[in-house]
Structure formats: structure tokens, C-alpha cells
Amino acid sequence: MRLILLGPPGSGKGTQAQRLVQRYGIIQLSTGDMLRAAIAAQTPVGLKAKDIMAAGHLVPDEIVVGIISDRIDQADAVNGFILDGFPRTVRQAEELDDLLKQKRMTLDAVVELKVNESALLARVENRAAQTRARGEEVRADDTPEVLAKRLHNYRTQTEPLIHYYADQRKLMTVDGMMTIEEVTGEILRILDAIGAGESQAKSKASRKKAAPAKRSASGAKRAVKKTAKKAPKVKAAAKSGKSARKAPKKATKGARKTGRTAGHRSATKTARKGAKKLTKKRAKA
């Protein structure tokens, strides 16, 4: 599964990415984290990025595109990844499209976390307080002044991506003002509806089965059974078209213009398949 999480600073992209990582066994690629690691290690990229980031500006496109291009070639990215904080400009999105094409990879969905701007300052202040409480150093750009700049950048440079991905029929919008659990639930429902969640969960289960080193044979069997039990639920959700109906309603103008989101398309297909099977069964009976 390959996903992009889109949203302003403090919208919960990092938190949601970590939850999806656990669920699907894919990796989170946060350009912000990678740049902070580069700064800490004082690499040439880190030295270039340090002052730019502290001032709340965007690091040049070629730097972040280079980082992502190298990273998605690594072995741990083979099962998929969640891009968190990338792309942030239309140019980065275009470069990402080219990269994925060259590497024969496809993007499953772009999940936009929609939040009220008024809540963001409180969230970022909360994050800084929690970091301080853990005895860790607070990010240089988590201050009200720099946050204002980062928000301005988001509005002017990153928000156009909403239309970019809506035009590609990849955009799914989730209300990021709900609780963390509710937001995760909504994302999982959307991913199931487009067929990405179900297949990824299955491949995670089969990877575990293939490498049972840390688990007893019976434990592995139980895990597979558990996944198998979950499958009908997912199908039922797709069949009812519940999330599928929700996604286009919340999608941006661009997506509505095209009439359907990927979620809608795929869930409808699954529902149709289900209906066909049912008709055949009935005919036999």
C-alpha cells in the first residue's frame, strides 16, 4: 500500500501514520523527521536545511525529492509506505509521479486530514509541552510565530495539492477534528472501501505466516484465522457502500466534479461482484 497523508502542521499526520504502520506493516516516511535526523547528524543536507526549517520555510524541492527517491528504493519500503509531509508543493507531487512511474509503483490514495486552523496552535503547543515533559528538546519550529509561517506555506504551496490529487481521483478527505481513534477508523474504512486496506492486511498476515520465528505454529494459525474472520466485515462495509458514499461527499470540489472518488469506484465494483455471486447462488438453488 502506498499512501500520502496531507494536512497542515498539527493535523495529526504523524500520529495517524504511526497507527497505519502498525496495522499494515508498512513504513512511515516523514521528510520532516528525515531532515531533523540529517540536522542532528550534521550531514550536508542537514546543514543546508537547518536555518530554513527553523525559520518555517520550505526546504528546496530537489533536496526532499532526492531524499524520498533514495528512501523508497530501500528494502523495507517494498511492502509499501506512508508519505507524511511529502509532497508539499505541486512540483514535488509532479516529481513524485515521475519517480513512481519510473519505479513502476502506484499510489493507492491521498488522505487529507481536514482541521480547523484555530485548533492547530493549541495542538502544536500541546505537542511542545509533551516533548518538554519527556525531557526531549522541543522543535525549533514549534513556536506560535514560526507556526504562522508554516500555516501560510501550507495554504499557499501545499493546499493546491488537494485539487491536484482530486483531479487524479486519488483524494479522500477525513474530518481531522474527530478523536484520534475516530480518525483512524475513518481512514481504515476508506482504505477498505478502495480495496487497499484488505489486501495489505492479508499480505501482512501472510508475511507473518512465512516468518513464524517469534510465534508458535498455533499462534500463527490463530492470527491468520483472526484476519480471515475480519474479512467479511470489510466486504460488508464495501458492499453497503457506506464509506464509499461518505468519501465523495467529503471530497473537494474537484473530486465532486469528477463525480466519484477512487473509493467510490472500487467499492461499487466490489458490491457489484458480490451481487453477481449472490445471483448465481440463487440461480443454482
61: CB partners within 8 A, 6+ apart: 89, 91, 92, 95
Question: In the 8-state DSSP scheme, what is residue 154?
Answer: I
With CB under 6 A as the contact rule, the residue among 8, 9, 176, 248 that binds ligand AMP is 9
Does 58 bind ligand AMP (CB under 6 A)? Our answer is yes
Residues 151 and 4: their CA atoms lie apart, in Å, by: 19
**Omega before 87 within 30 of 0, i.e. cis:** yes
Q: Is position 88 annotated as part of the catalytic site?
A: yes
Catalytic member of 2, 13, 170, 250: 13
Q: Per-residue x/- mask for ligand AMP, residues 104 to 143, rule CB under 6 A? A: -------------------------------------x--
CB of 17 to ligand AMP, least distance (A): 11
Does 29 bind ligand AMP (CB under 6 A)? Our answer is no
Catalytic member of 36, 50, 150, 246: 150
Question: Degrees (nearest 5) of the Cα angle 76, 77, 82?
Answer: 125
Using the rule CB under 6 A, give the single segment among 50-58, 99-107, 242-250, 273-281 that binds ligand AMP.
50-58
CB 243 within 8 A of CB 189: yes
Q: Is position 127 annotated as part of the catalytic site?
A: yes
CB of 49 to ligand AMP, least distance (A): 7
CB of 116 to ligand AMP, least distance (A): 18
How far does CA 191 lie from the centroid of its chain? 10
Catalytic member of 23, 48, 123, 139: 139
CB of 96 to ligand AMP, least distance (A): 10
- Alpha helix (H) ranges present in the chain? 13-24, 31-40, 44-54, 61-72, 90-102, 117-133, 144-153, 160-167, 180-193, 196-210, 217-240, 242-250, 253-258, 262-284
- DSSP string across 135-150: TPPPPTT-SHHHHHHH
The HSE-up count of residue 62 (CA atoms within 13 Å, CB side) is 1
Does 81 bind ligand AMP (CB under 6 A)? Our answer is no
Site for ligand AMP in 84-103 (CB under 6 A): 85-88, 92
Site for ligand AMP in 59-78 (CB under 6 A): 59, 64
CB of 204 to ligand AMP, least distance (A): 26
Give the footprint of ligand AMP on this chain (CB under 6 A): 9, 31-32, 35, 52-53, 56-59, 64, 85-88, 92, 141, 150
